[in-house]
Amino acid sequence: MILQDDRYQIQGIDLVSLTETYGSPLYVYDGQKIVDQYHGLKDSFSKVKVNIKYAGKALTNQAILQLMKREGAGLDVVSIQEAQLGIRAGFEPHEILYTPNCVSFDEIKEAVELGVKINIDNISILEQFGHVYHGTVPICVRLNPHILAGGHHKISTGHIDSKFGISVHQLRHVLRVIDTNGLKVEGLHVHTGSDVLDPEVFLRGADIIFEAAHSFPDLQYIDFGSGFKVAYREGDAVTDISLLASRIEEAFLEFCQEYGRELEMWFEPGKYLVSEAGYMLVRTNVIKTTPATVFAGVDSGMNHLIRPMMYDAYHDIVNLSNPQGTQRVYTVVGYICETDTFGWDRKLNEVREGDILAIKNAGAYGFSMSSNYNSRFRPAEVLVYQGKHHLIRKRETMDDLLVNQVPVEW
């Protein structure tokens, strides 16, 4: 988003005018930013074969999945429905890695039938899988290296009491199950959490996986997960991707030499690819001055973007309608009957009723975590790509709220 001629724009398209066309609140995605993030990440690796699987749960709109596919990405999914959405969007099943947690074995069987790659993250499922498929369906195994990482305890998955992955301390048990059932393990996976700043965390995880990998002779790839941190406010530290890439490539090449074969290196970023590309545009309904605070109350809330409330996430807010206005301090809140604060004490160009605000970093875990709480409609989504804007999801209507409700014959 740039400010030009007093108007905030994406690829030459005025953001405020998009709300005039499509209404508000509105999710807007900058397709070029997504493409740039993907290739920037991919091109940081030059010495190993790297495969980037977009973690679709961050933003699952078909148009976004199709964009990823066109650029050459694979797909990481966490539910059978995401796998189905990926196939609908044009991914080949073998390009999809299904990484579920605590799903039923029936759902795993469905995934096998779809033909997607299966990542197993607990010993019980590993055993059941072994009994049914033996070595006929190669699998990936998700290990938990017990590294404490991540920007918030709710998004940290690698610690000792996390529900994710199979503990590396249970490796001997895993190997026994694999041996007994003749399972074929073609991939190892590790994902320590989200918002991981320090490349050392990835390297520590990698070291643990490399050590374990020597016990798996059939490997084709190692999946190092994701969790790359992006900037949520100006000047925020972000994961140094080029440093990470060169360090992990070096370690990986060394490992491959010991292992005796060159494997593929996989990553599965969600946030890194789509977070900064997304904006949620909201309209200011009221300015409410209390003895303590000036609130800007907008036509959206935790039902549309829950990250500030759920993770205490900081999302930058910009007044698009008054770029030259005097800066004042506002607390930007939603219209939901909960304390749904988008940002406390933010310095914004003077906000007047009717002004359109942009909430930044809304691409990842924005729309995909939205709900109908308070019986509000979910927003429309617009993709800006090659200088054009495309409506990629219609705003909901009362019909959507009622579509699955079954009236009682009183």
Just list the catalytic residues: 337
Total interface residues for ligand PLP by CB under 6 A:
17
- DSSP 8-state assignment for residue 360: S
Cβ-based nearer residue to ligand PLP, 270 or 379? 270
CA 252 to chain centre: 25
Contact present, 283 and 356 (Cβ < 8 Å): yes
Applying CB under 6 A, among 199, 269, 301, 379 the residue interacting with ligand PLP is 269
* Residue 283 makes contact with ligand PLP by CB under 6 A: no
Residue 166: closest CA among 218, 129, 112, 111:
129
Taking the C-alpha atoms of residue 346 and residue 316, their distance in angstroms, rounded to an integer, is 9
Of 84-113, binders to ligand PLP (CB under 6 A) are: 99
Is 82 a binding residue for ligand PLP by CB under 6 A? The answer is no
Interface of this chain with ligand PLP, residues 175 to 194, rule: CB under 6 A: 191, 194
Residue nearest to ligand PLP (CB): 270
Q: Out of 270, 297, 366, 379, point to the residue binding ligand PLP (CB under 6 A).
A: 270
Footprint on residues 18-47 left by ligand PLP (CB under 6 A): none
Query: Which of 271, 283, 304, 307 is in the footprint of ligand PLP by CB under 6 A?
Result: 271
Rg (the chain; Cα; Å): 23
Residue 228 is classified by DSSP as: B
Other Cβ atoms within 10 Å of 144 Cβ, number:
25
How are strands ordered across the β-sheet holding 2-4? 2-4, 7-10, 13-14
**In angstroms, rounded to a whole number, what is the distance separating the alpha carbons of residues 352 and 280?**
18
Of 186, 187, 191, nearest to 206 by C-alpha is: 191
Rule CB under 6 A: choose which of 296, 306, 364, 382 binds ligand PLP.
364
Bond preceding residue 25 cis, omega within 30 of 0? yes
Q: Which of 78, 85, 96, 384 binds ligand PLP (CB under 6 A)?
A: 78
When asked if residue 73 is in the footprint of ligand PLP (CB under 6 A), the reply is no
Residue 57 binds ligand PLP (CB under 6 A): yes
Q: For ligand PLP, which stretch binds (CB under 6 A), given 41-49, 55-63, 86-94, 126-134?
A: 55-63
User: Which residues contribute to the site for ligand PLP (CB under 6 A)?
Assistant: 55, 57-58, 76, 78, 99, 191, 194, 225-227, 268-272, 364
